Structure 1
Amino acid sequence: MLSASEFLETTALSDDRESNSSRAKYERIQEHLKKQILEGGLPPGTALPSEQQLATLFESARSTIRQAMGMLEREGLVSRVQGKGTFVHENANQRLASGLDILALVIPEVFSGYYPSLQHSFEESSSQTQNQMLVCCTRNNIDKQGNAILQLIDNQVGGVAIVPASTPPTPAYQIRQLQKAGIPVVLCHRPVEGITAPLLGLPFQQIGGLAGDALVKQGHRRVSFFAPHCTQTTDLYLEGFRKALANVNCELAAEHCYFGADGAIDMQELDNEIEVALQRILNQPDRPTAIFTSFDSMAERIYLHLTRMGLRMPDDISLIGVGDQIRHSVLQQQIASVTVNETQLGHRAVELLNQMRSGELPIETSATSIMPAEVYTGMTLGPVPEMIKPPNQ
């Protein structure tokens, strides 16, 4: 009988060539292993190869394997035993066959912004109600989101919480497919036009207003706005931000704004554009004294670029972003931000899904909760500097 390593070696390469190359490598590996479990090639109790062995087998980095195995563990398909290794869970086949005890979280990003807290709280609440958790990352792409939804329907998941892709806006038919299949849906952060489902929304206009008020109170009158891309959400941020500026008879100049391209929020790809935009904006004669950006991950990039340009925060310029109340990194703890409680949102999403599954709430219900927002002052928010110097070239 072949060992798990020998069996996977006979299947991995051919199957991987047939995989959809547009998907992330860790997702393709996770799907491949799931397929082998479902088809009986990796029966319950099988000891899986080590991360290093799998990395060699799939020609991947260990971090990629770790992501794939983490997804399988969250789905309840594998279990890790300290000091012994990772094994196919004894109930893996039943869980794959029914899928009914799995709750899915569909989000544009996995590791950035407020999404880590949303994932953690969703997983925590899922486990407390004896549900497994599945995470689908869409990269803010509606086609990838549509494919993920079809897979969730095929796997008969018990419920889906989704942060809808925004560029372009998520079409109603994608969400309607889930509801027609009898799968409850909770919309997170923003609504989907034409869909009646519980909404755990963010107060985008209020967030923009809070950021504007915070800067205005510090005396800032020339400000800049950075966004990963231009969406309906961005428009709401700007509406609140401009109202706060209008209260002191100020306007947001078009030449002081930057918007990334539509699609995925990929800070790595946007990095060069952010640097060029900062150089352009901050070398203007009447340069802004503060920057508001609609995403904490972008705020981190801006912070690093400003530091390389020789600017100190808040002595030379102020910076405020938007993110989660839990400041995960040391850098986030430095940056001022308008924050929301993503932990509370994740817990509430699971609660609503289970209420719909039990029949306590209908699947198509218009229950709406808007999460509160508050300002985290951090270390990058201060008064207007006395002398404005152009940044180093």
Structure 2
Amino acid sequence: MSNVLDGMKGLAWSSEATSQPKYEQLRNYVVSQIESGGIKAGAALPSENKLAEALHVARSTIRQAFAVLEQDGLIYRVHGKGTFVHDEARQRSRKGQDLLALIVPETDSAFYPSLQRSFERAAAKLYNQVIVCNTNSDIDKQASAILQLIDLRVAGVAIVPTPSPITPAFHIRQLQQHGIPVVCCSRPVAGAHTPLLAIPFEEVGRRAGEAIRQAGHRSVAYFCLGRSIASAAYEKGFRESIGPKASISVVVANCGSTDYDALQEESGEELEELFRRDDPPTAIFCSFDSLAEWVYLQLLKLGLRVPQDVSVVGFGGTVRGGGFASQLASVTIDEVGLGTQAIELLTKMRHGELAIDANESRNLTLSFWEGSSLGPCSSK
């Protein structure tokens, strides 16, 4: 530690009016010493008090410099022991070595693959690398992933929180307490203070309801995956736009979006029950495209034509691809913009342009994909 302190005593402060603040000069000096090998990986740094005294600056200057270095993943603090240079600080200080993380509930359906691609592309433009963590909507897996990301000292995290059970605030605070900025995507985490890129859930339901109502449907159904804040908001917007005169059946599938066997079985049973009624639905709104695809398939198995007998409307991303996705009528969000904006916000927080606990919120842009699964209500 004495060698580190002796080296820092040689730091010459710039006094020009256009020069950087002293905390930035100190931060840059430490980075240059890490890159040159003057300060070794694992080295203990002097305390804030000792540095402030040796460099003849305010302790707040040292604190600011350390905060930026910690946020960059170059140093870390151990309570009661001190501040240390990270083992990978030399690699991380070089352009292109910052590691960002994306935490999602699944990676193989709906809009998540294109969200992942857009996040990776936006990160690559800034010479950052990306690690993707798939939680399968399991809150324990999410907690484990967060602990591993803290251990890796990632530079920032974008997270689509688990909806049920609801992600607790301490999951987010653990990251922030280690100087790791977080952006919440899709939905907020109650009690956590982070920027939010939000899906306007009620508006999604409203858009779906408007399209179905305009097609003349008055006997309708709403299918969702589990009970959550999002599914309740979809239903609220859907009911408001479909109108009080419509008959609405609500079906809740109590399985995960990637549990395909259970999803197929549940959707099949519920549809059989609905179409045994005297007044079955002529249109179905599903809270997610993956669920809408299974409903579509089950309707065909029942001998029903889509959209001649029953219309289906889903919700997903603007990147539709081929197969069912291109055929399915859906309310869509700009998932490409979601990935790009997440990188933008993380970059601002990492550079100190936005507070790590900022409550900035942006609603994602919605549109409607016509597809071919929504048609006029057939006369009976």
Q: Is the 8 A contact 2:314 2:329 kept in 1?
A: yes
What residue is the counterpart of 2:192 in the other structure? 195
Question: Does 1:106 pair with 2:89?
Answer: no
What residue is the counterpart of 1:355 in the other structure? 348
What residue is the counterpart of 2:283 in the other structure? 290
The offset of 1:179, in angstroms, is 0.5
Q: Is the 8 A contact 2:206 2:240 kept in 1?
A: yes
Question: Does 1:306 pair with 2:303?
Answer: no
What residue is the counterpart of 2:69 in the other structure? none
- Structure 1 residue runs without a partner (length 5+): 1-92, 388-393
Q: Is the 8 A contact 2:257 2:263 kept in 1?
A: no
What residue is the counterpart of 1:244 in the other structure? 241
What residue is the counterpart of 2:170 in the other structure? 173
Q: Please identify the structure whose Cα radius of gyration is greater.
A: 2
- Opposite residue 245 of structure 2, the aligned amino acid is N
Give the alignment of 1:14-163 within 5 angstroms: 101-163=98-160
The offset of 1:330, in angstroms, is 1.8
Q: Is the 8 A contact 1:98 1:155 kept in 2?
A: no
Q: Is the 8 A contact 1:227 1:260 kept in 2?
A: yes
What residue is the counterpart of 1:335 in the other structure? 328
The offset of 1:97, in angstroms, is 7.6
Cα deviation digits, residues 95-146 of structure 1 (max 9, x gap): 9985971100000010111101100000001111111000000111111100
What residue is the counterpart of 1:85 in the other structure? none
Q: Is the 8 A contact 2:225 2:252 kept in 1?
A: yes
The offset of 1:269, in angstroms, is 2.5
The offset of 1:367, in angstroms, is 0.9
Cα deviation digits, residues 54-79 of structure 1 (max 9, x gap): xxxxxxxxxxxxxxxxxxxxxxxxxx
* SS state at 1:207 partner: helix
The offset of 1:245, in angstroms, is 2.1
Q: Is the 8 A contact 1:158 1:184 kept in 2?
A: yes
Question: Does 1:345 pair with 2:338?
Answer: yes
* SS state at 1:304 partner: helix
* SS state at 1:134 partner: strand
Q: Is the 8 A contact 1:197 1:366 kept in 2?
A: yes
Distance 1:218 1:103, change over 3 A: same
- Structure 2 residue runs without a partner (length 5+): 1-86
Cα deviation digits, residues 317-340 of structure 1 (max 9, x gap): 100000001102321111100000
- Counterparts of 2:365 and 2:163, CA distance in 1: 21
Question: Does 1:379 pair with 2:365?
Answer: no
The offset of 1:263, in angstroms, is 5.4
Percent same amino acid at aligned positions? 43
- Counterparts of 2:377 and 2:90, CA distance in 1: 58
The match for 2:182 among 160, 164, 185 is 185
- Opposite residue 205 of structure 1, the aligned amino acid is E
Q: Is the 8 A contact 2:103 2:135 kept in 1?
A: yes
- Counterparts of 1:162 and 1:274, CA distance in 2: 29
- Opposite residue 201 of structure 1, the aligned amino acid is A
Q: Is the 8 A contact 1:267 1:298 kept in 2?
A: no
Distance 1:269 1:96, change over 3 A: farther
Question: Does 1:206 pair with 2:199?
Answer: no
Q: How many residues align?
A: 291
- Counterparts of 1:354 and 1:319, CA distance in 2: 40
* SS state at 1:297 partner: helix
Distance 1:174 1:122, change over 3 A: same
Q: Is the 8 A contact 1:141 1:264 kept in 2?
A: no
- Opposite residue 357 of structure 2, the aligned amino acid is E
- Counterparts of 1:316 and 1:333, CA distance in 2: 20
Distance 1:262 1:173, change over 3 A: farther
- Counterparts of 2:327 and 2:120, CA distance in 1: 28
TM-score (norm 1): 0.71
- Counterparts of 1:278 and 1:97, CA distance in 2: 56
